[in-house]
């Protein structure tokens, strides 16, 4: 439980808050003014986890207390209390780095909820700090596979077993999960690590060019062949050839690739000579190859040639606990060394942690890059995140001929979008959000449960009444 310092000059209110927190299991110390609070904070060992302070205090005001704590006790979080007339002062403190604020009269339920969120946030911050040293050194491909979730630990263990082999490997996983990174890590962990790692995206070349890219060609082999060129197989000789999106190869290209893998030789276009090549094949795809075989789109004999061993990369949504580590990793990577990004606010973290990231780690990386640029050296806040992550409503044209959704469905989806926007506006203060919506806190909690808000809300598109669509 948190160790809390309550600073309030109204004795009855101070005692009420302290007693309520003690009943919930918190360790509580009280102070009646800012000077007494600073003395208590300076003497505390270990430091207080959180200081709950009124903005208007005798001797030393709440703003001065907050700034002193930020300098002398940077690990201590601050929640400020203020009257309605001084909300602007509380917001100013929030912008300087306070965790949150409460308006008087204090709602003890809301205070309890804030402290629970703060405890979760501090736990995540400790986890990030514990691995920070791992992220300071130059990273190999293996080290860039950041995460300590069970799925990632299983992945790394399997990689360590497979890397030392020369057997062909197929890596599967959704788009954005890091298949090429895994392939590079396998190469770096193998006996071929001093030899080339060559990658080719099989979906990037038409059928007429993929053979030339893989096997090379002689000058004059075709119209644009003005010079001789070695193919990717020759370039990877002695090392590893990574065939990304291998499922996209045409049947013709699959047949030629199979022959090369069977014979261990290539024949460049325009040449009658065969060239012996020694490469380890690592392939990757986001498709189900067995389904492609059943549909007649992928050769079964080629499948067994490239799939001696297999690795499946888990999607980000199933890697519980890895999000905070990845966020810190990308903040560090994209920050300007002269103006490093100073962490992330609770509102921004809450948005990130409730978004599904269908684009997996690649989408998260782009999200943090976007946020770091907009934060300009300050803390990443909610408004610095892309619209999709914030869960805000966008109006886009409805596809021609698309059917309108039933009114009941559209109303439910609009209500969900409106709830997300309201929570974002009030920084997850559900009491304030309920008041704004004109409903009780109990009613709000029930609506959030029904709509699945707070448990990775998914983007939803539905027709609007004006012929457009609304995406949430």
| Angle (CA) 162 164 167, round 5° | 65
**Homologous superfamily of 3-106 in CATH?**
Response regulator (3.40.50.2300)
Element (H, E) at 82: strand 77-82
Region 279-300: what's the mean pLDDT? 96
Region 416-444: what's the mean pLDDT? 74
Fold of 150-312: Rossmann fold (3.40.50)
Confidence check: pLDDT of 455 > 50: no
Q: What are the tokens at 50?
A: 């959180």
CB atoms within 10 A of CB 11: 10
| Phi, psi (rounded to 5 degrees) for 313 | -95, 130
pLDDT digits (tens, 9 = 90+) for 52-87: 999 889 998 888 888 888 888 888 999 988 886 567
Nearest to 55 by CA among 122, 16, 10: 10
Domain ranges of the chain: 3-106, 150-312, 317-390, 394-471
Q: Return the pLDDT at 428.
A: 53
Confidence check: pLDDT of 255 > 60: yes
Strand partners, 200: 243
Q: Where are the alpha helices (DSSP H) in 307-359?
A: 322-334, 346-353
CB atoms within 10 A of CB 229: 17
CATH, domain range 394-471: 1.10.10.60
Using a pLDDT cut of 90, give the percent of the chain over it: 42
CB atoms within 10 A of CB 254: 19
d(CA 408, CA 108): 37
Nearest to 270 by CA among 229, 233, 210: 229
Contacting residues for 464 by C-beta, under 8 A, at least 6 apart: 395, 398, 410, 470
What is the pTM for the complete model shown?
0.57
Q: What are the tokens at 292?
A: 């492609």
d(CA 56, CA 421): 32
With beta carbons less than 8 A apart as the criterion, state whether 168 and 309 touch: yes
Q: Return the pLDDT at 401.
A: 53
Q: Return the pLDDT at 6.
A: 94
Give the sign of the dihedral formed by CA 187, CA 192, CA 193, CA 198. negative
Q: Is domain 317-390 annotated with CATH 1.10.10.60?
A: no
pLDDT digits (tens, 9 = 90+) for 378-418: 889 999 999 889 875 444 444 455 556 677 776 777 777 77
Instruction: Tell me the average pLDDT of the chain.
Output: 83
Task: Evaluate whether 317-390 and 394-471 have a shared fold.
Answer: no
Confidence check: pLDDT of 427 > 80: no
Element (H, E) at 468: strand 468-471
> Of residues 44 and 137, which shows the higher confidence score?
44
d(CA 442, CA 276): 73
């Amino acid at each position: 439980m948190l160790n809390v310092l309550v600073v309030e000059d109204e004795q009855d209110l101070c005692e009420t808050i302290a007693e309520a927190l003690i009943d919930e299991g918190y360790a509580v110390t009280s102070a009646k003014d800012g000077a007494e609070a600073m003395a208590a904070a300076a003497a505390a060992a270990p430091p207080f986890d959180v200081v709950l302070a009124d903005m208007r205090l005798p001797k030393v005001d709440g703003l001065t207390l907050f700034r002193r704590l930020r300098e002398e006790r940077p690990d201590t979080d601050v929640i400020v209390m203020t009257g309605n007339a001084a909300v602007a002062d509380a917001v100013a403190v929030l912008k300087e780095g306070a965790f949150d604020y409460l308006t008087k009269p204090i709602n003890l339920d809301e205070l309890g909820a804030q402290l629970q969120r703060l405890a979760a946030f501090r736990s995540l911050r400790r986890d990030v700090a514990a691995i920070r040293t791992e992220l300071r050194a130059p990273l190999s491909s293996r080290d860039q596979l950041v995460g300590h979730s069970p799925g990632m630990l299983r992945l790394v263990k399997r990689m360590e077993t497979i890397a030392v082999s020369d057997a062909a490997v197929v890596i599967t996983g959704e788009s954005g999960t890091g298949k090429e990174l895994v392939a590079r890590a396998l190469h770096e962990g193998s006996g071929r690590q001093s030899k080339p790692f060559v990658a080719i995206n099989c979906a990037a070349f038409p059928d007429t060019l993929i053979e030339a890219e893989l096997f090379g060609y002689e000058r004059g082999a075709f119209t644009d062949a003005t010079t001789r060129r070695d193919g990717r197989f020759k370039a990877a000789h002695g090392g590893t050839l990574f065939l990304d999106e291998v499922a996209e190869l045409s049947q013709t290209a699959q047949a030629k690739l199979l022959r090369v893998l069977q014979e261990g030789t290539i024949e460049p276009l325009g040449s009658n000579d065969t060239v012996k090549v020694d490469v380890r094949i690592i392939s990757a795809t986001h498709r189900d190859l067995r389904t492609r075989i059943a549909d007649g789109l992928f050769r079964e004999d080629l499948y067994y040639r490239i799939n001696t061993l297999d690795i499946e990369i888990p999607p980000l949504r199933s890697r519980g606990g890895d999000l905070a580590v990845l966020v810190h990793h990308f903040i560090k990577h994209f920050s300007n060394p002269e103006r490093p990004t100073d962490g992330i606010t609770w509102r921004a973290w809450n948005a990130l942690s409730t978004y599904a990231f269908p684009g997996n780690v690649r989408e998260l990386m782009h999200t943090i890059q976007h946020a770091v640029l907009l934060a300009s050296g300050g803390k990443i806040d909610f408004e610095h995140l892309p619209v999709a992550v914030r869960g805000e409503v966008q109006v886009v044209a409805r596809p021609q001929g698309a059917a309108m959704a039933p009114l009941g469905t559209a109303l439910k989806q609009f209500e969900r979008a409106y709830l997300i926007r309201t929570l974002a506006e009030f920084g997850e203060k559900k009491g304030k959000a309920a008041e704004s919506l004109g409903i009780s806190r109990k009613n709000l909690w029930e609506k959030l449960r029904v709509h699945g808000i707070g448990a990775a809300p998914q983007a939803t598109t539905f027709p609007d009444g004006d012929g457009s669509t609304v995406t949430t």
